[in-house]
Every structure is written in structure tokens, then in C-alpha cells.
Structure 1
Amino acid sequence: MNYLPFYPIYSVDFLGSFLMLLLSFATFGYARRLRREHKKSVLFIYLFGLSTAFVAFSISRSIGHMLRFIFIYAGVPEWWKSLAPISGSLNSACFITIAALSFVYASVQHVIALVRSDAEKLRKAKEELEKTNQKLRELYQTLEDKVRQRTQELLASESKFRRLFESSGEAIFFCDSQGRISDINPSGVNLLGFNSKDELIGQPMVNFFAEKKDWQDYVRITCQNGFIKDFETKLVTKNGQEKYVIITAHATKKSSGCKIGFEGIAKDITSYRKMTEKLIYSEKMASLGQLASGIAHEINTPLSIILGYAQMLKKDFKNDKDVFEELSIIESQAEVCKKIVSDLLSFARSSDKSSIRKILVNDCILQTVDIIRHTFEKDGIKFLIELSDDLPCIEADPDKLRQVFLNLLNNSRDAVGKDGLIFIRTFLKEDSIVIEFGDNGSGIPSDIKDKIFDPFFTTKPPRKGTGLGLSVSYGIIQDHKGKLEVFSPPERDYHLSLNLKTVFVITLPIFR
């Protein structure tokens, strides 16, 4: 029997099986490479699976066909009969797998389309995010630039404020809601008499108000209006000095009970206030001087007539004791009036200046002290005299200066009573000679200190003084182009160390 009647057909079948193997493996290799290059591609994964199934199908069919020809050609066709069912089942299984994969392709295509759609959406979303991110970066950069610019402006403003705060000549202060000082500039530290800001931080502001009522008014007005403007008050420094200030402040916070924090500026007007008071006083004294001069001249004539007639009548009634004594009383009282008129004329600066000449102030002081030393020392009053040796001569009326010195010494004696101390010192200060008269008496009450130079003002009991001593002295010193001031209590540490309560300071110019 001839098993190869169709040898050419079998040759083609054998060669086709071999080519099927070759092409399937080539397809499998290509699909595998694509899958490696595109690991996340669903299509290439599908093609790789399909090519794998084709390889399995080609192996099953092609090798089966080739083995059949080999077995037949070798004369053992029965072997093929044993392998034929296995080869057929493998072919069927591979064909079914390929068919199944072919049917799945449409679903895979749909999935791929959905995936592509989602990928496109993701791409667009990514582009939008990138655009948004770019805008955010631009906004962030702009914001960063603005923040940097604002920070620089803030730093510049803070630096400007700090320079203004530190270098301002006015006192600038900040207080918390409890009224305690939280910050203050160097001018404020100097105003209150402290050495450093740390000594003031945390101290209640009310402690520096001389009048507690002023503090209450200050808090009330600031609480009601949120600010206070040109509030004039008196502050007390660390060493007890009083400073007149004008405060302008704003509330920084309001809460229940009007417990507020505030920031303000205090302007020291002490010098201005004293200058104003001196100007007012000078004007008042000038007016009083004119009035006193007119009164003195008007009284002097009838007073001289009264005194003359009293003296004439005393001669006529010298043998009548009662009348003589009464006339003596009239004469003595007329002399007192004449002395008052003379003081009024001196106060009015109507004295003759022909006696002005070059003198040494120290000589005038020693001459005056020699006159009253014995009387004063009988009462236990001691003198502490410190006269500078380098004082030049000045042009002045020595009698008038001795009158001023005597008035001041008598006032000191009345103040100290017995067993007291009277201090006298002279020294040179720039182009002036300074003369100080002090005592450790009772001092001058603050409520009358501004009145002691007023004419006829006196604290002495009746018939103990006319109230013209200091006013006349003030006029004499002014007539010499000088200045007469009183300090009670004294401001200088040296005076305080001597326990002085009152110091009169005379300043006389060297060149008039």
C-alpha cells in the first residue's frame, strides 16, 4: 500500500506547518517586545496573549502534522494514531482560546476606548492643573513680592518710628490696660528724672501725677472720647521736682469699667510756665510800682506837714507831759509812715542812682553780716559763709545791696527762730555773680511762694513787718539788671545736704 500518493500536498503541508511555527514565534517575539516597551498598554498585553495562544496552537498543529508525516515515513503509523487524539484536543483547546480572545477583542477595544477617554480626560485635567499651578505660582510669586515689599515698607516705617521715638524731644509713652508704663522714650525718662527706661517699665502712671484728681480726669476724658488733647497737669519727678506738662493721648483699647491702655505725648512746659509767670509778675510789679510811686508822692507832702506840726507842737507843750507824749506818738507814727513811703519809692525804682559805683559784692555781704552778727548769735544762730575769692568788681549801689542783704537775713532769722543755720555763698557763673542766702527754717508753703514778692504781703503778725521788704529787694535787684529767685525746697543736692529749707538766689551781671 502506498501511503504517500499525494506527496507534493504533504510536502506543502509539512512546509506550511514549519512556516506556521516560524511565523507564530516571530509574532510572539514581536508582541513580547512591544509589551516590554509598553508595559501599561492594554492593547499590547492583549496582542501578547493572542500571539501566545497562536504559538501554542501552531506548536500543537504544526508539530502534530510534522510528526504524522515523520511516523508514516518511518513506517510506524500506529504511533501517530496514539498521538492523534492528544494533538487534536490540543488544537481544539488552542483554537477555542484564540476564538475566545478574538471575541474578547471587541470588549478590549471598548475598554481601550474608555481607557483612552479617561486618559484624555486625565491629560486635559493635567493640562488644567498645570495651567492652574502656573497661575498659582505666578500669584505666589506676586504675593511673595508684595509681602516682601510690605515687609520692607513695614521695616522702614518701624525704623522711622523708632528713630522718631528715640530722638524726639517730647516724652512719648505707652501704657497697658492697668495704667502701667509699658514703653517710654529717652526724653520721657529724663523728664521723670530716671536714668534708664528699665526703672520705669511696669510702674503705674498715676504715681507721677502730682494731683490724683488730674489723673482721674485724664482717665475719664480719655475713656469717654477715646482721646485727650492738650491736657495740662503737673508731674512729680523721681527726686520730687514738679514739672508742668501738656499731654495729648489716644486710647488703644476699651473694655468694661473704662480700664484702657493709651499712648501719648507729654510736652514739658515748665520753663514756658515759669517764663509766663515771671512776665505776668513783671507786668504786675511794674503796674504796682507806678501806683506806689504816685501814692508815695501824694502822701509825702501831707505827711511832711503832719510831722512838722507835730514837732512844733512838741516844743510848745514840752512842759505838759500828757500832751507831749501824745505828740511823740504822732511823731513816731509819722516817721513810720515816712519809712513806708520811702520803701514805696524804692519799690517804684525812683531812687537816685548817683551812688552807683564799682564795688566788691563780698565786702557788702561781710559788712552787712558784721552789723547783725552779734544779735543773731545771741539767739544761737550760726553762719555758714562760703565766699569765692575770684569775684570781679561790679557797678552797683552798695547801700541798696546792703539793704537787700539785710532784708534777706532778717527774713531768715524770723524763719529759723533760735539755734538755726544761715547759709551764704557767692560764686562766679559765666558773666554773672551768684549770691545765695539760705536757712534751715520752716520753709515757704507752696501756696504762698508765688506771692512773697507782692507788696504788703507778709506772714508776720501785726506790727512785725510792713510786707515791703522782699518787694523792695526785688525792685532793687531788677534795677541792677539782676534776678532774684526763691527755691523752697531747694533744687541743688548741696543745699539739701545742709538741710536747708529755703534758698534765695541773687544773680547780678558783671557788665551792665
Structure 2
Amino acid sequence: GTSYSAIHEHMTGEGNRIFEEIMATPILNDAAEIVQVIEGIRDVTRRVGLQEEVRRNKEYLENIIVNSSDMIITTDLQGKVVTFNPGAEHMLGYTQEEVLGTDIEALWKAPEERRRLMAEVKARGFVNNYPTTLIGKDDQEVEISLSLAELRDSEGHVLGTVGISKDVTEENRLRRKLIEREMELRKANDFMNKIIQSSPDAIMATDMKGNIIIWNQAAEETLGYRATDVIGKMNIDRIYPPGTAKRVMQMMRSPEHGPVGKLRSYPMVYVRQDGEVVEGNLSSAIIYDADGVETASVGIFVDLEERLNMERKLRQTQEQLLQSEKLAAMGRLTSQIAHELNNPLYGIMNTLELLKTEISPQNKRRKILEMALSETERLSEMLRKMLSFSKPDEETKQPSDINNILDEILLLHEKQLREHSITLSISLGENLGPVYASKNQLRQVFLNMIANARDAMPDGGTLTVATRGVEDMLHIEFSDTGTGIRKEDLSKIFDAFFTTKDSIKGVGLGLSVCYGFIKDHGGDIRVESHPDSGTTFTITLPVH
């Protein structure tokens, strides 16, 4: 006695599917018996189509939720879990039955963070790619990237929220590992840079075109260029003599100078920014990439200026020692010769003096006799110098004023120098302090310097005598404008019996004796000279 309806499907002549709903409603009498049935038919094709589309869409969405590898969780307005897909099960380790109906905040590591996030969702309607952490079944932390939005019905009423999350735990682990690796590389790079910058030797590197890419502090100090002025701005050719950079690369590529790609301790000169040349040793290498292709070159330059200066001083000391040994040997020889000749020579001189008394001054033979006596006296003077050379006067040294000694000598010789057309220029320093010396020996040295200067200016000139203090040393300079000394003779002028004068003027003992006197006083004599440009002798003595 109840109403009944059924959906009937049939095909039209055109092949279209038609859905019709057949409805039957019974009419009953007083005895509840069916006396009549009212039937109706209506086309429900559109309604059935919409229901089918809704079913398919629902099935499609359910398939997405079930098969998605992402975690999809929906909650109601109280925060209770409504949907918990297999992706969520796999990610957190819980089954759907364990989670449905529970409070979603139980899954959050920081529940208060979700509350703040929900306030933002209510304000904006959604949040995308929010990084946070959930707690899995075994208290395992799962890092996720969460996109959260409000869930609404067809009329726009909020039903809850839907969250879709991607597991970024491994991605974050790799990212952190990469960051740690980058920090390690940065530390290693900083440490390597500190090593390069702290090196006492100049370190420089270039690309294969010669453009400078590394320039440490020692390179700045050694070559004068600042790193900011050369890195990426200057080619290495600038600091090499012409053609040298190319030759260095050829040597590194050749097996003749060691392993290919390397050059060890090769003597090298660089040109400083101020134009000065720096000497040293270069060790360099070519840098290759993983495929063996040349990418750069690096060089370490050891500045040997100090070492070379020490070697020069050592050679100078050795030469001075040799000179002293030569002087000592010559002294012993000359002493023997002088002593052997002195006695007969004095006999000859006395005989000549006696003969002078017997020959009248008007006699022609008297002039010949005087000439013989003069030459004998000259020979005696030579022997005296030889004895002085071999064994200087053992005079008591005492504090002496150099300026006073020079004043006395120059006063006596000024007239003689003027007669030789020589102008005297005097520049004596003040408050020089005394030297501990033998006055007579210093007089002999200064007289010899003046005599040499006079002989070097046969046509006149200027003799400059100057004194000055340099730290704890006193400098006495004798400068003339004379003929000068040849370069090849400079190293020999202090040798005994070496002279550039005529044999009549000397036998070459003057400077040797002077050198010995000054060395005995703890000083030194230096000479600077160029042919036709004059000569300067500089005597240095320690201040007492």
C-alpha cells in the first residue's frame, strides 16, 4: 500500500540514453484495499547524469587521497582528525584507525605553532609551504613542508581544514649536510688563505692568460704592488723582465727542469713597482683540473736580498782578511829588507856628507854629489815608510779631536795647494765627539790623502774635506775633482807596492800604510771613483 518508484533506462532511435523515473501511488479504500493505482513517468536523464558525475568525482578524489605519496589530513572545526590517508600512514607510522577522531595537535612537535598557524589560515584562508615538524609513532621527528587551507561546503561554510604535507626530512638532512660541507670548505679556504697571506715568501697565482688571481701580503711587501691593484687588473708580465714570463711557462712544461708542470728554486729577478730589481729564487707549478687541462699557475718567490747582502759582506770580509794577510806577509818581508838596507845606506849618506865638506860649492862635482845625496835621502825615506808599513809606531792612543787635527794639517798645506791651483773646501761637523786614536798616525793618514788628491789634480781643481757623525761612527771624507781611478784598479789600491803614479812619485806604500793604521783603530776606508770624475775616500772611525 506504499508508493513505489524505479528508474528505467532505454535508448532513443538516435542512440541516446534516456533515464525515466516511473512512479506508482496506490489508492486504498476503507478496508485498506488497493482500489486504484496512479502512475507517472518523468525524464530524469539530467539528474542521473549529475549524480553520476558527483560519484565519479568523489571516487576520483578518494583515489587521489588514497594513492598520493603526500600526507593528506583533514580535521573538523574542533581539530579532530577526519581523514588520514595512506601517505600519512607511511610518513608517520600510525594507522588510520589509530588517528581518526584524535586531536591533531597530538601529532605536532610544537602544538602552539599550529595554533599560530591556524590564526593565519583564518585570516588569509590558506598557508603554503610552511616548514614544521611532526612526531611519528616511535617519537621519530618528521620534517614536513605543509600547505594548509580551510575546507568549505557548497554554501561556503567552513567545515574544517585540509593539510597536504611533503616529507622533507631527507631533503633537509641533505641540505644541512651540504651547508656543513660548505662551511667546512669555507673554513678550509679561509685557513688556506691565511696560510698564503701569512707566508713570509711572495705567493702569486695567475690564470692561463697571465692575469693575476692571487697576490699575498709578502708579494705586496716584496714587489710594492697592492693586491687590490693587481688581482684581476694586471698581467704577470708587468713584474717580469721582458720575455721572462713566457720562458718560465716553457720551463715548467719541459722535463729539462724537473717534473713536467713544476719548476724548483730557479734564480729569478722581478721588477718592483718603483723600478728596482729584486733578486731571488722562484718555485712554480701549473695547476690542472680533473681532466688534466691547465687552468692556472702558482709561484712562490723567495727574496734573497738579505742573504745576497750577507754573501757580499762575507766576500768583502774575506777580501779584507786576505788583504790583512797580504799586508802581514809583506810587512815581514819589507821589515827584513829595510833593516838589511838601512845600515849600509846610512854609511853611504855619511860618506857623501863628508865628501861635501871637501868639495867647494862652486865645483861642478858638488852638484852631482848633492844629487846623489838627495836620491840617497829619498831611498832612506822609502825605507822609513817600509818600516812604518811593517811595524807602525807603537804610540799611546788617546781621545783625539778629528776636527783639530784636520785644522792643523789644512792650515799648513793650504798655501801649497793654492800654488797647485787647488781650491780647498772645508765642511767640519759640530759636536762630533772624540776618537780614541794615535794623533801621529792619523796625521800621516790625512797627509797621505791630501798628497794623493794633489797628485790627482795636476791641472788644479777642488779638494773637499768634510766630517760628520753617523750613529756611533765618525766619517771623514776627502773628495777631489781629479783624474779618478779606473774600475779595474779600485780593488788593488790598498795593496802594498801598487801605485798608479809615476815611479818617481812613489812606490805604492802610502795607502797600504794608511789602511793598516785605520784598521788598527777599528775603522775602515772606502773609495768611490770614476775616471775623469774625481775620487772620494771615506774614512770611518768609532766615536770614543
TM-score range, shorter-chain basis? 0.5 to 0.7
Equivalence for 1:49: none
Q: What does 1:126-165 align with in structure 2 at a 5 Å threshold?
A: 134-162=169-197, 164-165=198-199
Report the more deviating stretch, 230-239 or 132-141.
230-239
Distance 1:234 1:149 in 2: 37
Equivalence for 2:476: 435
Equivalence for 1:7: none
Equivalence for 1:426: 467
Q: CA RMSD in A?
A: 5.5
1:287 aligns with 2:325: yes
In structure 2, the CA distance between the partners of 1:388 and 1:146, relative to structure 1 (3 Å rule), is same
8 A contact 1:314–1:327 mirrored in 2: yes
In structure 2, the CA distance between the partners of 1:417 and 1:185, relative to structure 1 (3 Å rule), is farther
Equivalence for 2:263: 227
1:478 aligns with 2:519: yes
In structure 2, the CA distance between the partners of 1:384 and 1:323, relative to structure 1 (3 Å rule), is closer
Deviation for aligned residue 1:464: 4.2
Distance 2:67 2:486 in 1: 99
5+ long unaligned stretches in structure 1: 1-11, 25-52, 490-498
Distance 2:487 2:273 in 1: 17
In structure 2, the CA distance between the partners of 1:229 and 1:300, relative to structure 1 (3 Å rule), is same
Distance 1:444 1:237 in 2: 35
Secondary structure in structure 2 of the residue aligned to 1:455: coil
Secondary structure in structure 2 of the residue aligned to 1:456: coil
1:506 aligns with 2:539: yes
Deviation for aligned residue 1:367: 2.1
Equivalence for 1:266: 303
8 A contact 1:172–1:265 mirrored in 2: no
In structure 2, the CA distance between the partners of 1:375 and 1:272, relative to structure 1 (3 Å rule), is same
Residue identity in the other structure for 1:146? R
Secondary structure in structure 2 of the residue aligned to 1:390: coil
Residue identity in the other structure for 1:266? D
In structure 2, the CA distance between the partners of 1:371 and 1:293, relative to structure 1 (3 Å rule), is same
Q: What does 1:88-237 align with in structure 2 at a 5 Å threshold?
A: 120=67, 134-162=169-197, 164-165=198-199, 168=200, 204-205=238-239, 224-225=257-258, 226-229=262-265, 231=267
Distance 1:435 1:304 in 2: 35
Residue identity in the other structure for 2:3? G
Secondary structure in structure 1 of the residue aligned to 2:300: strand
8 A contact 1:438–1:501 mirrored in 2: yes
8 A contact 2:204–2:298 mirrored in 1: no
Deviation for aligned residue 1:265: 1.2
Find the partner of 1:308 among 331, 339, 346.
346
Deviation for aligned residue 1:207: 5.1
In structure 2, the CA distance between the partners of 1:205 and 1:119, relative to structure 1 (3 Å rule), is same
1:389 aligns with 2:414: no
The structure richer in helix per residue is: 1
8 A contact 2:400–2:435 mirrored in 1: yes
8 A contact 1:422–1:437 mirrored in 2: yes
Secondary structure in structure 1 of the residue aligned to 2:23: helix
Q: What does 1:9-48 align with in structure 2 at a 5 Å threshold?
A: 12=1, 15-17=2-4, 20=5
Find the partner of 2:335 among 272, 278, 297.
297
Residue identity in the other structure for 2:322? K
Find the partner of 2:497 among 456, 461, 471.
456
8 A contact 1:178–1:261 mirrored in 2: no
Equivalence for 1:370: 411
Distance 2:454 2:238 in 1: 42
Equivalence for 1:352: 393
Secondary structure in structure 2 of the residue aligned to 1:277: helix
In structure 2, the CA distance between the partners of 1:405 and 1:251, relative to structure 1 (3 Å rule), is farther
Secondary structure in structure 2 of the residue aligned to 1:451: coil
Residue identity in the other structure for 2:315? E
TM norm structure 2: 0.57
| Residues paired across the two proteins, number | 411
Deviation for aligned residue 1:172: 6.2
Distance 2:221 2:340 in 1: 60
Residue identity in the other structure for 2:447? L
In structure 2, the CA distance between the partners of 1:302 and 1:355, relative to structure 1 (3 Å rule), is same
Distance 1:196 1:218 in 2: 23
8 A contact 2:475–2:538 mirrored in 1: yes
Residue identity in the other structure for 2:410? V
Report the more deviating stretch, 337-346 or 276-285.
337-346
Once the two structures are superposed, residues 456-505 of structure 1 have per-residue CA deviations (whole angstroms, 9 ceiling, x without a partner) of 3334455444333322211111111222233458xxxxxxxxx9864332
Distance 1:464 1:220 in 2: 60
Residue identity in the other structure for 1:393? P
Distance 1:333 1:157 in 2: 81
Secondary structure in structure 1 of the residue aligned to 2:330: helix
Once the two structures are superposed, residues 327-359 of structure 1 have per-residue CA deviations (whole angstroms, 9 ceiling, x without a partner) of 8777655555544444344344x2222353443
8 A contact 1:175–1:182 mirrored in 2: yes
Residue identity in the other structure for 2:385? D
Secondary structure in structure 1 of the residue aligned to 2:499: coil
Deviation for aligned residue 1:431: 3.7
